[in-house]
Amino acid sequence: MNMSEQQRRAYLEALDIDVWLPRGADAESQDVAGAPPSVAELGWDELRACVAECQLCDLHRERTQTVFGVGAEDARWMIIGEAPGVEEDRRGEPFVGRAGQLLDEMLRAVGLDRGSVYIANTVKCRPPGNRNPEAAEASACRAYLDRQIALVRPELILAVGKVAAQNLLASDAPVGRLRGRRHALGDIPLVVTYHPAYLLRSPSQKRLVWSDLCLARSLLREGAA
Ligand code: URA
């Protein structure tokens, strides 16, 4: 198998294995040493290319394409969902199916649209049959999401649904217990709310989502969207 150095590093990072480099070729001096950067150092184009060829977990076997993320690369809001569904897998863009239309409405309610936020998923490949991603799949993909967050440097993260919330917060609490309050990912405020796919089934919960969106908006630096 022909594996790029970047891909090898991504595999090792996903397995939590320290990458040993020759003396003088540590993270600080890789450019000098000429070694390829790890995922945590990639720019947007390199990261996109790395994700597009990723085979870190079995989800790559059945995907049509990876679904990287969309929106403003300097967005104040970053929306993090679960995984691509059938429509997203076909089109290569997150949240373009029915749940995505509802997400667009949720964003419009606070004066936003998908061009002014950044939208990404916990995993970049569609799980077969639209099942939830497994923990190992989410952790294999985590370096990519972390790098997206580091590149966007959002003022606020909105985690929609259980998979995003539990993975980002390393919690197994249900969304009902995580929503409605401020969390943080490092120094970035994080708010959890229900997934729009759940709202399609339980529209009466929309009022709780509205209150989560208002909370999120209040956590922005100047308190405005
Ligand atoms: N649900 C998600 O969480 N993400 C998508 O991209 C589509 C549906």
Whether residue 189 lies inside any domain: the answer is yes
Q: Look at the chain and count its residues.
A: 225
Whether residue 82 lies inside any domain: the answer is yes
Which segments of the chain have a pLDDT < 70?
1-36, 223-225
Q: What is the pLDDT of residue 34?
A: 60
The Å distance, Cα 83 to ligand 1 centre, comes to 5
Whether residue 76 lies inside any domain: the answer is yes
Whether residue 2 lies inside any domain: the answer is no
Q: What is the pLDDT of residue 94?
A: 98
Q: What is the pLDDT of residue 6?
A: 63
Whether residue 188 lies inside any domain: the answer is yes
Q: Measuring from each residue's beta carbon to the nearest atom of ligand 1, which residues come in under 6 Å?
A: 81-85, 88, 94-95, 97, 99-100, 121, 197
Contacts 24+ apart (CB under 8 A), 107-110: 107/79, 109/210, 109/213, 110/213, 110/214, 110/216, 110/217, 110/225
How does strand 182-185 pair with strand 70-71? unpaired
Whether residue 140 lies inside any domain: the answer is yes
Whether residue 4 lies inside any domain: the answer is no
Q: What is the pLDDT of residue 4?
A: 62
Q: What is the pLDDT of residue 221?
A: 85
Q: What is the pLDDT of residue 5?
A: 61
How does strand 77-81 pair with strand 118-121? parallel
Q: Which is the closest atom of ligand 1 to the Cα of 82? A: 3
- CATH code at 88? 3.40.470.10
Q: How many domains does the chain have?
A: 1
The Å distance, Cα 79 to ligand 1 centre, comes to 11
Whether residue 7 lies inside any domain: the answer is no
Give me the domain span that covers residue 121. 66-224
